Amino acid sequence: MKAKELRNRTQEELVEEVNSLLRAQFNLRMQHATQQLAKSSELRKVKRDIARVRTVATELARAKPATKA
């Protein structure tokens, strides 16, 4: 998922995406703890995706008040 794609989404869609990624991260952590995780790089990818979505959400939140003023 790229930041460019995320910028076309609404704030509500971004919140849903973060929640989905957090659930996925939890599941991956549990798989890692029980030695069932095949690709450990997935943890890193999900963590970065969460950060990316949160960054875009923050950018949109900060840009909204500026356009109203």
pTM metric for this prediction: 0.86
* 2-58 per-position pLDDT tens digit: 889 999 999 999 999 999 999 999 999 999 999 999 999 999 999 999 999 999 999
pLDDT computed for residue 69 by the predictor: 53
Cα(35)–Cα(32) distance, integer angstroms: 5
pLDDT computed for residue 64 by the predictor: 78
Cα(56)–Cα(46) distance, integer angstroms: 15
pLDDT computed for residue 34 by the predictor: 96
- State the CATH class of domain 3-68: mainly alpha
Nearest Cα residue to 2 out of 38, 44, 42, 56: 56
Q: Which two tokens stand for residue 66?
A: 């500026």
pLDDT computed for residue 55 by the predictor: 96
